[in-house]
Amino acid sequence: MFAKLLKLTAAAAAIAALSACSSTTPVAENGNVSKNDDSSDFVSLSEAVPDAILEIRYYSTYNFVGERIDGYEEPCALITKEAADALKGASQDAEEKGYRLKIYDAYRPQTAVNNFIEWAENDNTDMKEYFYPELDKSVLFDQGYIADKSGHSRGSTIDLTLFDMDTGKDVDMGGTFDYFGELSHPDYTGELTEEQINNRNTLRDIMLNNGFKPLDTEWWHFTLENEPYPDTYFDFPVSEDSVAAN
């Protein structure tokens, strides 16, 4: 455990040092310098894809931390213009099948990721029974459920599910968003019913057919195949003001 804390502390210190260098010119993974507070290529998802339903979990307290996450100033979703264009097609495909897209998260500022790191270092396990009942909190980094960098911070990743227009309910995926465990793997069958498996495949097909690629540990997570900023991690707040002039 001591070694684990050292690892997490070092990760947090590295990010803090990066932020201290400049609020506008952090070094990306490939060594290039890019402005990570420039939101000019981002749009409000509500305006770009008005049929999408928003349930921004990190603005609420119903998430694995149990508190509103730093950097989420409004319950809105931001995304790059390129990803928004692709998501329009996904929304249309979903509508033809009787669904609407329901969004849990899109762009995630590095500030929020830092908040996750801080949480990983403390002893808060208030939401364990809901989001990681099978795992000790100390293994969440090693097993890839949390990272000190997130694809969401690059602006073209989306967490979502399907909302059934006939029933007025979320489609049954056999597991909740942000559940840390094998149950969340897209290829998991285990105790899932045939309907739940088909529902996961329907969401996957819609997203893949519109230019997104999946993640092998989360059925709800998709990234634009040709994302415009593969090596840049942004850090402006999640609020409508961040993209008001775009």
Residue written as tokens 């967490």? Answer: 159
Catalytic-role residue among 82, 218, 225, 240: 218
Structure tokens at 141: 């980094």
Q: Assign 238 to helix, strand or coil.
A: strand
Q: Which residues are within 8 A (CB) of 66 and not within 5 positions of it... i.e. 6 or more apart?
A: 124, 126, 127
Q: Are 26 and 19 in contact (CB under 8 A)?
A: yes
For the question of residue 218 being annotated catalytic, the response is yes
Measured in whole angstroms, the distance separating CA 68 from the mean position of its chain's CA atoms is 15
Q: Which residues are within 8 A (CB) of 61 and not within 5 positions of it... i.e. 6 or more apart?
A: 67, 68
Amino acid at 32: N
Structure tokens at 172: 């049954």
- The sign of the torsion formed by the CA atoms of 229, 233, 238, 240 equals negative
Measured in whole angstroms, the distance separating CA 163 from the mean position of its chain's CA atoms is 18
Q: Are 228 and 41 in contact (CB under 8 A)?
A: yes
- Catalytic residue numbers read 218
